[in-house]
């Protein structure tokens, strides 16, 4: 079977949907649901079983899954960039990942794919290359990014990366992100702002070279992020760390205009001050270097931002009952 940790989460649930569409249902979901609405992401999915993350790792270390797992997609993590409990992030994101590796790394033919993050790139001063030589010089801006970088470095130092794939997801947006609260994408937040107030609020710029709302991000639709993830599941002879982005930066203004267009509304943007202190650690530009991904053989044409936002809003948000109460 295929194990998907974080399978009830944003990217994980979309990945399982793609696996189901490809005829794959022999799946074990590993997650921690807690009191959030994340369980709703499971309703339409087909899978064999569900395990709490703590029960799963305990069973795995006792050899319970030795002969039943053919692939592990490790997406489970605390993904909050504002989480201040460094011990929790070290235990949940770094130590748990190492424990998974120790259980499954020696299994012949097993595919191991894990989620890294574009947060490892920090302020972008070292660029956005996913070449392994760059990783040691990166300086993440938050503890979440650092926990992800630590595992990348550990995977390289131990040689594990020669037998696995680490995926640095950029600014992913799309269906099944309701439960992410403050970590939800700008796309869904802009949708609700426009729906409630008729306008979208964006941060002002504090750099002369960027006009208000012209700060740039590599926004990637979750369906495209999943396509890239599926590519590595299907091509088991490819290893290493890879960026998961479009390679095409877009401004927050462009994103807001795409939201208004999908909602058939006249654009109305208000530029607001950043929270105190944020301007000193704010990223003005992110863009995935996708050359390594292309060299690996991925040649699928990713969606344009406006088309992605339109699909997200018209096919999901407008049809979801939660949009009436959010």
pLDDT tens digits, 272-285: 999 887 777 788 99
Q: How confident is the model at residue 258 (pLDDT cuts 50, 70, 90)?
A: very high
CA distance 2 to 71: 5
Tell me: the pLDDT tens digits for 133-143? 999 999 999 99
Tell me the average pLDDT across 118-131. 95
Structural domain boundaries, residue 79: 2-171+220-244
Least confident interval from 22-36, 104-118, 253-267? 104-118
**Residue 324 pLDDT > 60, yes or no?**
no
Q: Annotated catalytic sites, by residue?
A: 144, 180
Question: Does 57 fall in a domain?
Answer: yes
Any alpha helices (H) in 78-142, and if so which ranges? 86-89, 96-104
244 vs 81, more confident:
244
Domain CATH code at residue 93: 3.40.50.720
Mean pLDDT of the chain: 94
Tell me: the pLDDT tens digits for 156-209? 999 999 999 999 999 999 999 999 988 899 999 999 999 999 999 999 999 999
Predicted local confidence at residue 196, as pLDDT: 96
Domain CATH code at residue 319: 3.90.25.10
Check if the beta carbon of residue 241 is closer than 8 Å to that of residue 311.
no
Check if the beta carbon of residue 240 is closer than 8 Å to that of residue 161.
yes
**Residue 307 pLDDT > 60, yes or no?**
yes
Question: Does 295 fall in a domain?
Answer: no
- For the residues of 225-294, what is the DSSP string, one character each? HHHHHHHHHH-TT--EEEEES-S--EEHHHHHHHHHHHTT----EEEEPPPTTGGGS--S------HHHH
**Domain match, 267 and 132 both:** no
Q: How long a stretch of residues is the chain?
A: 326
**Domain match, 214 and 227 both:** no
**Residue 325 pLDDT > 70, yes or no?**
no
Residue closest to 216 by CA, chosen among 282, 262, 278: 282
- DSSP β-bridge partners for residue 64: none
CA distance 321 to 312: 14
**Residue 311 pLDDT > 90, yes or no?**
yes
- Specify the DSSP element, H or E, that contains 222: helix 222-234
């Amino acid at each position: 079977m295929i194990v998907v940790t974080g399978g009830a989460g944003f990217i994980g649930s979309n990945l399982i949907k793609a696996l189901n569409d490809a005829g794959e249902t022999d799946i074990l979901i590993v997650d921690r649901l807690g009191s959030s609405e994340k369980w709703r992401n499971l309703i339409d999915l087909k899978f064999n079983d569900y395990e709490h993350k703590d029960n799963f790792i305990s069973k795995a270390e006792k050899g319970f899954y030795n002969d039943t797992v053919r692939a592990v997609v490790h997406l489970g993590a605390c993904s909050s960039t504002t989480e201040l409990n460094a011990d929790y992030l070290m235990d949940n994101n770094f130590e748990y990942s190492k424990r998974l590796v120790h259980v499954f790394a020696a299994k012949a033919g097993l595919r191991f794919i894990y989620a890294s993050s574009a947060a490892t790139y920090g302020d972008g001063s070292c660029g956005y290359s996913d070449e392994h030589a760059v990783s040691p010089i990166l300086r993440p801006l938050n503890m979440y990014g650092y926990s992800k970088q630590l595992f990348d470095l550990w995977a390289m130092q131990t040689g594990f990366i020669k037998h696995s794939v680490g995926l640095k997801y950029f600014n992913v947006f799309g269906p099944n992100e309701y439960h992410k609260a403050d970590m939800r994408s700008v796309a869904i937040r802009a949708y609700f702002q426009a729906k409630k107030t008729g306008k979208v609020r964006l941060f002002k710029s504090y750099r002369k070279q960027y006009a208000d709302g012209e700060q740039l991000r590599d926004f990637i639709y979750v369906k495209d992020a999943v396509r890239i993830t599926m590519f590595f599941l299907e091509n088991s002879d490819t290893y290493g760390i890879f960026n998961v982005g479009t390679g095409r930066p877009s401004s927050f203004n462009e994103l807001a205009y795409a939201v208004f267009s999908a909602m058939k509304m006249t654009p109305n943007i208000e530029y607001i001050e950043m929270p105190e202190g944020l301007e000193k650690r704010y990223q003005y530009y992110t863009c995935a270097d996708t050359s390594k991904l292309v060299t690996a053989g991925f040649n699928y044409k990713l969606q344009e931002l406006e088309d992605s936002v339109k699909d997200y809003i018209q096919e999901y948000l407008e049809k979801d009952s939660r949009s009436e109460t959010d």
